[in-house]
Amino acid sequence: MQFIDEAKIQVSAGKGGDGVASFRRERFIPKGGPDGGDGGNGGSIFAIADRNINTLIEYRFARIHQAKNGEHGRGSGQYGKGAEDIILRMPIGTIISNIDSGETIADLERDQQKILLAKGGVGGAGNIHFKSSINRTPRQFTKGEEGEKLELHLELKILADVGLLGMPNVGKTTLIRAVSAARPKVADYPFTTLHPNLGMVRVNQNRNFTMADIPGLIKNSAEGAGLGHQFLKHLTRTKLLLHIVDITPMDNYTDPVHDAKLILSELKKYDELLYQKPRWLVINKIDMLPGNNEKDTCLQFIRDLGWTGKSFIISALSGKGCKQLIYDIMRYLEQENQAEIT
């Protein structure tokens, strides 16, 4: 399925049906009085978060969503039927904003969260409501109200606990395959990841977290080069970033230290708040290091990078070091969640 994370749509709620001016006309019942019923309410339009949807592709092609109008009132005290509401199902993490005002209408953060987008018009009143002791034959009635009409911008920001970032082909996709049930494409060439992948990492029966993998970043990503800049926004909601580094570059012209610093530079240029997020260094592909000097090579890399934070040495392909990594992530997230509660 094609991944679409932005769309623009029009929503038009239904108009309320008109009330009616009517009088009871039956044999042997003279001067029956007013009996005009009310119009029905127009249909409203709602958005609901659905965990089974992960893209906005439906709204890229179906842009106009219009609810039906309510029925007009009728004589004999008959009220018009209200129109059915329209439900638009969207992925969790969708931000809905008004294009004209720029106001954020909703942020769908949990499954089955329901938000009113456009309210249907209220039906008009029939003349049955205008009867009084001094107005026994009222001819007044009101028309139904217009429904709301809005131009909306939809933007999907994936909700994940942990986000992976790094250069193309450093093993982010292999890692998410190794620790979760997600099965994104893996190949030995860059840019195999063309859209974000989301995986559920299950530590045990009652403990789990979500991990997001985005396309790799390259130089000038913050200015629009490559693919990763389009998806950096999906890391803004994560609680922890894992900076994945390939310790065994494909050729002698590639410097892992330079590439790692480049990622940090692009991250800072894109969003200072994203740059300030908690970030761990994960050195990958140690299974490809010659001999038994993997520890010394990695320590030298950490010194050259000037990294003082938490770091891990793993092989996503063989699984070496991955279990310790996910257990430490789980403990960190539990501590963060507990801190938020207190």
6 and 152, same domain (yes or no):
yes
52 and 200, same domain (yes or no):
no
20 and 133, same domain (yes or no):
yes
Indicate the residue among 156, 181, 197 that finishes a domain. Answer: 156
- What does the alpha-carbon distance between residue 66 and residue 86 come to, in Å, rounded to a whole number? 8
Residue 221 has pLDDT above 70, yes or no: no
175 and 143, same domain (yes or no):
no
Specify whether the CB–CB gap between 35 and 26 falls below 8 A.
no
302 and 255, same domain (yes or no):
yes
pLDDT in the model for residue 3 = 56
176 and 313, same domain (yes or no):
yes
| 70-79, 117-126, 287-296: the lowest-pLDDT one | 287-296
176 and 320, same domain (yes or no):
yes
pLDDT in the model for residue 339 = 82
Helix/strand/coil percent split, the chain, to 5:
25, 25, 50
pLDDT in the model for residue 250 = 64
114 and 213, same domain (yes or no):
no
274 and 336, same domain (yes or no):
yes
CATH of residue 220: 3.40.50.300
List the end-to-end C-alpha distance of the chain, in Å, as a whole number.
Answer: 41
* Averaged pLDDT score across all residues of the chain: 85
- H or E stretch including 15? none
176 and 263, same domain (yes or no):
yes
CATH of residue 87: 2.70.210.12
Nearest Cα neighbor of 14 from 51, 39, 31, 38 is 39
Give the domain extent around 145.
Answer: 1-156
Indicate the residue among 156, 178, 194 that finishes a domain. Answer: 156
CA dist list (Å): 75 to 18, 22, 71, 122, 223 = 12, 5, 13, 19, 65
In total, how many domains does the chain have? 2
150 and 181, same domain (yes or no):
no
The per-residue pLDDT for range 82-101, each reduced to its tens digit, is: 999 999 999 888 999 999 99
Residue 219 has pLDDT above 60, yes or no: no
135 and 178, same domain (yes or no):
no
Indicate the residue among 140, 156, 172 that finishes a domain. Answer: 156
